[in-house]
Structure 1
Amino acid sequence: MGVRLLVAASAAVLALAVAARAAEPDAARLYTENCAACHGGDRLGAIGPALLPQNLGRLKRDEAVDVILHSRPASQMPAFSDTLSEADAQALADYIFAPPEALPDWGLAEIAASHIRHADLAALPEAPVFDADPLNLFSVVESGDHHVSVLDGDTFERLARFESRFALHGGIKYSPDGRFAYMASRDGWVSMYDLYSLQMVAEVRAGINTRNIAVSGDGKWVAVGNTLPGTVVILDAADLTPHRVIPVVGDRGETSRVSAVYAAPPRDSFIVALKDLPEVWEIPYVKPKKPHYPGLVHNYEPGMVEALGVKDQAFQARRIKLDDYLDDFFFSQDYQNLMGAARNGRNGQVVNLIVGRKIADIPLSGMPHLGSGITFDWHGRRVMASPNLKEAKITVLDMETWEVVTELETLGPGFFMRSHANSPHAFADVFFGPNRDAVHVIDKESLEIVETLRPRPGQTVAHAEFTDDGRYVLLSVMEDDGALLVYDAATLELVKELPMRRPVGKYNVANKIRYEEGTSH
């Protein structure tokens, strides 16, 4: 009798387990039925963004459940609360946060197949279709509803507003003459916009998850740094036609995500920061004249070029080996030295690009945001100032001795710092923490905070950017009902407010193309 009861009980438990499994949502089926049409059957994105863990870094899993059920503001995402249960939404969230069994290929063929031409290059006008100064325009990324505004930097009036790709990276870059704007989304889409005719020219998907882009000093190439796959993609700047895919691979075949890519115009090269290799890569975009390498102040002896890993061919990476991972760079104005933040949170490194090795350590604690640093002359010395992402301070360094000149105590960690050669002030936000509504104004002569602006108490105010002459500075209120605030850079008086949808970044054409010392490069 006991055996029969035990068998019956086991059968009942098994039946309950089978029934429970049958009741569990089928996430793959739910995705195919509800998500694939917009986000792609392979989760690589289509009308909607890619749904892979690497592309969801800013979205938490519980937030994803809420988005699935109740939609997302300023998007075409529908609400599924009428057709999906909370358990269904949770299963879908688990599904999209799980890595695929195999990483998808995204090589030259896939990139080329995604290429879109929106306008005929031969039909573009020779001159701007507006009266504003084309070099004093701003491109403003409004992430609240995924748009970009083109702003006249003299009148602060909008000239155009157009829809961007989803999750556009804030760092817009320009052609050397200032005519074309190049933009990259986190989903890997690179867009080319004509600032003369105010229209989109071309687009291409250069990666699945992209960090940023850079435009070569000669205006011929766009380099795209990807975290998925780990590649640097070279595009023809004329129309974004893909030219080359450069895999980022170490000595043992290990791949690395790209943290950032920068243009180094004096060196005719791109500089690449890597997440997973203790190296810096320099990729020339012109064919070096052997044995001279772009940017060097002398010729190597025969055989030294090859010994340093420099090939006599454009787009061959020169790999500079380091003793730590560096994924945030700042460059001297002549691009002979780069400063990189080390992951150990204790120091930074100075790498000389001429000799191709580290030449100094810098005592930097916390997590300095060197990519948002600025340089200026102080008492006859060239100094660099950097905000810090973890500590409430700004560090000022001597760029000859690499010693700390001073550290300014702030109201909290900051993200952006900006100035201009014609301005006596530098502006630094307090992006993280309870004082995110504050922006410090620093006197570049005394190296002291002389004013703290709080234009919108309780709201995040950040990312200063100057007009081309340095007379005015623009601040972003980074809220969905945000604004651009225009200040007189000398008197600190508020001149104008322009309502905008979470303006996360704005970039002045002239300051970017001439690599102004007070803005990011």
Structure 2
Amino acid sequence: MSVRTLMRVITALAAVHASLASSAGTTAPAAAVHYSQHCGACHGTDRLGGMGPALLPESLERLRPAELADVLRHGRTATQMPGFAAQLDEAALDGLAVWLRTAPAIAPHWDAADIRASHVVYHAPGALPAKPVFTADPTNLFLVVEAGSHHISVLDGDRLERIHRFRTRFALHGGPKFSQDGRYVYMASRDGWVSKYDLWNLTYAAEIRAALNTRNVAVSDDGKWVLAGNTLPGTLALLRADDLSLVRVYDVRGRDGKPSRVSAVYDAAPRHSFIAALKDVPEVWELPYGDAGVPMQPRVIVLDDVLDDFYFDQGYRHILGASRDGRGQVIDMARGRQVTELEVSGMPHLGSGITWVRDGREVMASPNLKQGRISVIDMEDWHTVGTVQTNGPGFFLRSHEDTPYVWTDAMMSPRRDTLQVIDKQSLQVVGSVTPSPGRTAAHVEFTRDGRYALVSLMERDGAIVVYDAQTLREVKRIPMDKPIGKYNVFNKTTRSSGTSH
């Protein structure tokens, strides 16, 4: 056993001992023992993951309490995860669920040496043929993330048929990112794994664990770099795009030294830089990669408030941001400061904003997480030109350059089963679709030509429901296991104004 492995074991045992010692009189001591007996072999004695995913509060934050309880009792079908209802009583299972959502007594550790030790190359750069193994148009493929069983389905956007399906790491977070030629897709899982998948050869190329909890990744426009934004620990991990080898770890701290989690990272292609949004300090970081080779030390833009959500205009000159209390502001990246405030209320979900031209002027529209309304903002003088009342708070807004309509969901409301269709010029609701009454429908993505709109029926026995984008007539259904998002290669690589980047 290496010294490093021995230290890892000692740390894990110390964490378990601390949990037992510090929680006398609660369910935590018994829960720690139950974890050791039933979970540690697969998920790691330190809860950092092994054959199974990490079981830390950050890893489980998007899993509803009822879902976690169901997994502990009944396991997961088509996986090696068993249920424990026969071994543990209800109180023990409830105690284990609470304990798993509690941070370890000793903070988990993950540094550059850990990252490098996790690195796996399945196929060396250049080893696989530079030609698709399928006949479908490689630019009109969709990747559909199936959260129910942690798979991705590859759809042919012309035939609207599945051509491949493969297993992913646990709980992908943030949309997959493509290389400019569409061949490679880069994915980040909630427990820190970054994967490079060769879409033309339908196989993994490389993987590395960049952190214990990762928000998302960005790929540089020149195809050389991948940046992972992490919440545990609060770091940015810079990787080489060809084999995902680690180049550098940035410790994320504000100017006052306060540590911060990373909300998200973006590639600002027109600026030849990465943008990092911070969750705990009022700053935005820019890492130029243009002619400097390896991305440089971050340029820090200090803000008046921590921004919880972001939107970039098409030229990446401006950031439209909203704080947790709904305050909206516009930051000029060239000047490095706020230039005006936005007329918004509630909690606008700017990260799902889209743009189009209306009456000769570019506008941006954003759904709202707390109110049934869409704000439409003029991108020249930043005033609100219109408000569209919807069925309820929604999460996604999508369109396409070749359709006159915007599609929005109301998935944060009782009307979560219905999507509304809005005319881009009149800002009037002109239609709606309800794929399955009473069941959540959201996240629209269009085919390359904008002819079809694909909707996610976000249920365990769900589907991708395909609609004619002009007539709103249902065309077909493709069964899926809780499809939470779908991503068209062409729309993403060309940075379509109708989808997120």
* Same-fold call, TM cutoff 0.5: yes
How far 1:89 moved relative to its partner?
A: 2.3
Is 2:230 the counterpart of 1:226? Answer: yes
Tell me whether 495-504 or 385-394 shows the greater mean CA deviation.
495-504
1: CA distance between counterparts of 2:26 and 2:445?
A: 57
Counterpart position of 2:239: 235
1: CA distance between counterparts of 2:458 and 2:95?
A: 32
Counterpart position of 2:20: none
How far 1:105 moved relative to its partner?
A: 2.0
Deviations 1:316-361 (A, max 9, x none): 111100101112111111111110112222x211111111111110
2: CA distance between counterparts of 1:169 and 1:23?
A: 31
Counterpart position of 2:427: 447
Counterpart position of 1:475: 455
How far 1:62 moved relative to its partner?
A: 6.3
2: CA distance between counterparts of 1:235 and 1:23?
A: 42
What letter corresponds to residue 231 of structure 1 in structure 2?
T
1:120-519, aligned counterparts within 5 Å? Answer: 120-288=124-292, 314-345=295-326, 347-519=327-499
2: CA distance between counterparts of 1:407 and 1:103?
A: 46
Deviations 1:457-515 (A, max 9, x none): 11111111011111111111111111111112122222221111111000000110110
What letter corresponds to residue 409 of structure 1 in structure 2?
Q
Q: 1:128 to 1:62 in 2, by over 3 A?
A: closer
How far 1:116 moved relative to its partner?
A: 1.5
Tell me whether 368-377 or 109-118 shows the greater mean CA deviation.
109-118
2: CA distance between counterparts of 1:419 and 1:396?
A: 14
2: CA distance between counterparts of 1:105 and 1:51?
A: 14
2: CA distance between counterparts of 1:40 and 1:474?
A: 39
1: CA distance between counterparts of 2:260 and 2:335?
A: 24
Is 2:118 the counterpart of 1:114? Answer: yes
Is 2:47 the counterpart of 1:43? Answer: yes
SS for the counterpart of 2:34 is: helix
Task: Tell me, yes or no, if the aligned pair for 2:355 and 2:365 is still in contact at 8 Å.
Answer: yes
What letter corresponds to residue 144 of structure 1 in structure 2?
G
Alignment TM-score, normalising by the size of structure 2: 0.92
1: CA distance between counterparts of 2:478 and 2:256?
A: 53
How far 1:23 moved relative to its partner?
A: 11
Say what the alpha-carbon RMSD is for the aligned residues. Answer: 1.9
Runs of 4+ in 1 over 4 A off after TM superposition: 20-25, 60-63
1: CA distance between counterparts of 2:248 and 2:143?
A: 28
Q: 1:30 to 1:471 in 2, by over 3 A?
A: same
2: CA distance between counterparts of 1:170 and 1:487?
A: 25
2: CA distance between counterparts of 1:520 and 1:379?
A: 23
Q: 1:459 to 1:26 in 2, by over 3 A?
A: closer
1: CA distance between counterparts of 2:432 and 2:90?
A: 46
What letter corresponds to residue 315 of structure 1 in structure 2?
M
Counterpart position of 1:4: none
SS for the counterpart of 1:270 is: strand
Counterpart position of 1:76: 80
Tell me whether 280-289 or 175-184 shows the greater mean CA deviation.
280-289
Is 2:14 the counterpart of 1:33? Answer: no
Task: Tell me, yes or no, if the aligned pair for 1:229 and 1:257 is still in contact at 8 Å.
Answer: yes
SS for the counterpart of 1:459 is: coil
Unaligned runs of 5+ in 1: 1-19, 290-312
Q: 1:24 to 1:502 in 2, by over 3 A?
A: closer
2: CA distance between counterparts of 1:171 and 1:62?
A: 25
Counterpart position of 1:56: 60
How far 1:82 moved relative to its partner?
A: 2.1
SS for the counterpart of 1:122 is: coil
How far 1:404 moved relative to its partner?
A: 0.4
Q: 1:23 to 1:134 in 2, by over 3 A?
A: closer
Counterpart position of 1:103: 107
Task: Tell me, yes or no, if the aligned pair for 1:148 and 1:161 is still in contact at 8 Å.
Answer: yes
SS for the counterpart of 2:126 is: helix
1: CA distance between counterparts of 2:67 and 2:153?
A: 28
Deviations 1:395-419 (A, max 9, x none): 1000111100010000001111111
2: CA distance between counterparts of 1:98 and 1:145?
A: 25
1: CA distance between counterparts of 2:292 and 2:26?
A: 65
Q: 1:364 to 1:113 in 2, by over 3 A?
A: same
How far 1:447 moved relative to its partner?
A: 1.2
Deviations 1:164-211 (A, max 9, x none): 111112511100111001111111111111111111111111111111
Greater Rg by CA? 1
Counterpart position of 1:6: none
2: CA distance between counterparts of 1:421 and 1:482?
A: 28
1: CA distance between counterparts of 2:451 and 2:63?
A: 38
Deviations 1:61-84 (A, max 9, x none): 565444323324554321112222
2: CA distance between counterparts of 1:342 and 1:170?
A: 20
How far 1:96 moved relative to its partner?
A: 2.0
2: CA distance between counterparts of 1:223 and 1:28?
A: 35
Tell me whether 475-484 or 78-87 shows the greater mean CA deviation.
78-87
Task: Tell me, yes or no, if the aligned pair for 1:170 and 1:506 is still in contact at 8 Å.
Answer: no
Task: Tell me, yes or no, if the aligned pair for 2:28 and 2:99 is still in contact at 8 Å.
Answer: no
SS for the counterpart of 1:90 is: helix
What letter corresponds to residue 85 of structure 1 in structure 2?
D
2: CA distance between counterparts of 1:83 and 1:194?
A: 42
Deviations 1:235-258 (A, max 9, x none): 111111111111110123211111
What letter corresponds to residue 508 of structure 1 in structure 2?
N
2: CA distance between counterparts of 1:172 and 1:478?
A: 18
Counterpart position of 2:21: none
